[in-house]
Amino acid sequence: MSSDARLVRALVGCYPPVWRRRYGEEYAQLLCDMQVHRRPRLVADSLLGAARAHGGALMSGRPSFALPVWAAALFAAAGIGFAKLAEDLSGVATTAHAAVIVAAAVALLALAVAAAPAAAALVPGRAADAWRYVAVPIVGAAAWCGVARVAAAATAGRTVHSGPNIAAFALIAVTGLGVLAATAWAATRILQRVPLAGPGRLRGSAVTAMATGMAGATFAVLVWGLRVRATDAAAFHSDQGLLATPFVSSWLAVLIALCAASVLGAVAARHHRTAP
């Protein structure tokens, strides 16, 4: 195979499978006709088109729960980061801290309401093959607990900022993120297999409430960080937990993750509100 043909094949391969089945052959011919191997701008345009097609696949057809689920997974990861960040700063900015918890509860409760009809459809066994995905979070959580116990045992007696302790923390964090991602993936697979039940207006309202809760939690975390700084400037320099010590970096990382989750949630809400 020539390098030109390989480039064309690679560019077509960047598109989603459904898109390739419909347009792949004619698109490959167009790339050949346009002599794309001689025109880097067209290669970039094709890659952008592939990215848009992936985005379109996520947003097309019936309103998908993939976006709310991934938004919730990102939100949960940021929420755990916030909990670790705030655990050493108890008694500071308590109102903003409570607001974070309330907004997060609203967001996750709304997601549960949005997904409830799908869960109800799962129980009577109308999508028997979807049950195997339920094992993913259970096995993942058990594996994560095992990793955390081993890491804790291996670092017993070490100081907070010692090398082994940092490595153990990183292992626990990465494993936890992996379990969250696997759970989100399993949830989307389940939701693809069960019928999208329940009134569309309720679903749209629930996803909107979820996005609103996420945005509220993001704002509350912003206020919380500012209040912590105003109330106890030493919190930025003290030798506390692994996340709390580089406070500003950790706080910004949590805020960015919450913002990203809120944006994903808002996009999902818009899609669910406008979908038929």
Residue 102 found at the interface with other proteins (CB under 8 A): no
For residue 163, how far is the Cα from the chain centroid? 29
Question: Largest Cα–Cα distance in the chain?
Answer: 68
Residues 147 and 170: beta-carbon distance below 8 Å? no
Residues 12 and 27: beta-carbon distance below 8 Å? yes
Residue 177 found at the interface with other proteins (CB under 8 A): no
Q: How many residues does the chain have?
A: 276
Residue 56 found at the interface with other proteins (CB under 8 A): yes
Among 7, 16, 34, 83, the residue binding other proteins under the rule CB under 8 A is 34
Q: Is 67 helix (H, G, I), strand (E, B) or coil?
A: helix
Residue 4 found at the interface with other proteins (CB under 8 A): no
Residue 49 found at the interface with other proteins (CB under 8 A): yes
Residues 250 and 243: beta-carbon distance below 8 Å? yes
Residue in 104, 100, 72 with CA at minimum distance from that of residue 87: 100
Residue 129 found at the interface with other proteins (CB under 8 A): no
Residue 6 found at the interface with other proteins (CB under 8 A): no
| Of residues 56 and 146, the one with the C-beta less far from other proteins | 56
Residues 217 and 258: beta-carbon distance below 8 Å? yes
Among 19, 65, 82, 144, the residue binding other proteins under the rule CB under 8 A is 19
Q: How far is the CB of 58 from other proteins (least distance, A)?
A: 14
Residue 21 found at the interface with other proteins (CB under 8 A): no
- N-terminal to C-terminal alpha carbon distance within the chain: 46
Rounded Cα distance, 96 and 106, in Å:
15
| Of residues 50 and 73, the one with the C-beta less far from other proteins | 50
| Of residues 33 and 239, the one with the C-beta less far from other proteins | 33
Tokens of 59: 């947003």
| Of residues 32 and 223, the one with the C-beta less far from other proteins | 32
Q: Give the interface size with other proteins as a residue count (CB under 8 A).
A: 25
Among 9, 29, 138, 159, the residue binding other proteins under the rule CB under 8 A is 29
For residue 17, how far is the Cα from the chain centroid? 23
Tokens of 151: 């890491």
Q: How far is the CB of 63 from other proteins (least distance, A)?
A: 16
Alpha-carbon dihedral 255, 259, 265, 269, rounded to 10 degrees: 130
Among 33, 128, 129, 234, the residue binding other proteins under the rule CB under 8 A is 33
| Of residues 46 and 155, the one with the C-beta less far from other proteins | 46
Residue 64 found at the interface with other proteins (CB under 8 A): no
Q: Interface with other proteins by CB under 8 A: which residues?
A: 11, 19, 23, 25-31, 33-34, 36, 41-42, 44-50, 52-53, 56
